Amino acid sequence: MNLDILPIGLYQENSYILHDNGHVLFIDPGRYAKEIMKHIKKDEIIDGIVLTHGHEDHTGAVDDLAEAYQCPVYMHSADLDLTDPKQVGRGFDGPIYTKVSPLERIDQIGTFAVKVYHTPGHTAGSCCIQYRSLLFTGDTLFAGDIGRTDLYSGDEQEMLDSLKKLKDLPNDLQIYPGHGPASSMHEEKMCNPYLQ
């Protein structure tokens, strides 16, 4: 297993490329599809694109990648209004023209067995996605911080409830957030004031 971390785009969002046994999963490809595609080997199979939420800095390369690799796209249905081209204008929404399938019904994407944790707060459809010992937290949980709740469909109480869920997860999970450095669940439980 190998993980490419590409902090690209205006907000230095982390676009993740997860490689395992010749298969690839894109997580939050925010910008610059051509740059992301440079990290894919010719013989690798793209199993899908997973979005932790519907903000534009996490969705900007979706259409280009989906077209190039003819792969499915998954996101929680509560964020579909953020990516619907007919409903743009709420701030940070990122129109997607490719079909998006509901992430909440998924536990397998190609060869990747995933666990999906619905963690509303930053947006109504925010999710954390676990693969093995890796947890991709989007803009729910950062190293030492959490995502903002003052944007469209954000909710402070829902964020607090979501953080309680995350506190119950194993300490050995490696945290890969939507922005900033990686961490671990143990480190966040010890040092993140929002998980105290």
Residue 90: pLDDT band (50, 70, 90) is confident
For range 89-104, the mean pLDDT: 89
- Containing structural domain, residue 128: 2-195
Average pLDDT, the chain: 96
Cα of 195 vs its chain's centroid, Å: 20
* pLDDT of the residue at 10: 73
Query: Residue 62 phi/psi, 5° resolution?
Result: -60, -55
Closest to 133 in 3D by CA, of 181, 191, 176: 176
Contact criterion met (CB below 8 Å) for 5 and 182: yes
CB atoms within 10 A of CB 128: 24
Assess whether pLDDT exceeds 80 at residue 11. no
For range 36-46, the mean pLDDT: 97
Q: Beta partners for 23?
A: 20, 45
Chain segment 110-142, per-residue pLDDT in tens = 999 999 999 999 999 999 999 999 999 999 999
Assess whether pLDDT exceeds 80 at residue 88. no
SS (HEC) of 110-171: CCEECEEEECCCCCCCCEEEEECCEEEEECCEECCEECCCCCCCCCHHHHHHHHHHHHCCCC
Assess whether pLDDT exceeds 90 at residue 1. yes
Chain segment 97-113, per-residue pLDDT in tens = 999 999 998 999 999 99
DSSP assigned state of 90: S
**Rg of the chain taking only CA atoms, in angstroms:** 15
Assess whether pLDDT exceeds 90 at residue 94. no
Q: Which pair of structure tokens corresponds to residue 51?
A: 């979005």
Count of domains observed in the chain = 1
CATH number of the domain enclosing 66: 3.60.15.10
Assess whether pLDDT exceeds 90 at residue 93. no
